[in-house]
Amino acid sequence: MTQAAVDTLADADRPNTDARWAALRARDPAADGTFVYAVKTTGVFCRPSCPARPARPENVVFFATGSEAEAAGYRACLRCRPLAAEGRDPMTSRVEVLAAFIRAHANEALPLSRLAAEASLSPFHLQRSFKAVLGVTPREYQAAERLKAFKAALRDGDSVLGATFEAGYGSTSRVYEQVDGSLGMTPSAYRAGGEGETIVHAVRQTALGPLMMAATGRGVCFVQFGDSSAALTDQLRVEFPKAALIPAGEGARVPLDAWMSALDAHLSRAAPRPDLPLDLRGTAFQVRVWRFLLSVKAGEVVSYSEVAAGVGAPRAVRAAASACAANRLAVLIPCHRALRADGGLGGYRWGLARKRALLDAERAA
Q: Is 335 part of the annotated catalytic residue set? A: yes
Q: Taking each helix axis from N to C terminus, what angle separates 317-325 and 123-134, rounded to the nearest 10 degrees? A: 50
Contacts of 182 (CB under 8 A, 6+ apart): 147, 281, 282
The DSSP call for residue 329 is B
Beta bridge partners of 215: 200, 220
CA dihedral (327, 271, 236, 215) positive or negative? positive
Plot region of 343 (φ>0 → left; ψ -120 to 50 → alpha; else → beta):
left
Beta bridge partners of 16: none
Complete edge-to-edge strand list for the sheet that includes strand 209-216: 219-225, 209-216, 198-206, 244-247
For residue 210, count other CB atoms closer than 10 A to its CB. Answer: 17
Half-sphere exposure of 209 (CA within 13 A, CB side): 17
Q: Is 50 part of the annotated catalytic residue set? A: no
Which one is catalytic: 46, 50, 77, 80? 46
Nearest to 294 by CA among 329, 270, 322: 329
Burial class (CB in 10 A: 0-12, 13-18, 19+), 180: middle
Instruction: Report the distance separating Cα 308 and Cα 277, nearest Å.
Output: 24
The DSSP call for residue 343 is S
Nearest to 269 by CA among 203, 339, 350, 204: 204
3-state secondary structure of 224: strand
Strand residue runs (E) in 130-251 = 198-206, 209-216, 219-225, 244-247
Strand residue runs (E) in the chain = 36-39, 44-46, 60-63, 75-76, 198-206, 209-216, 219-225, 244-247, 302-303, 338-339
Q: List the catalytic residues.
A: 46, 335
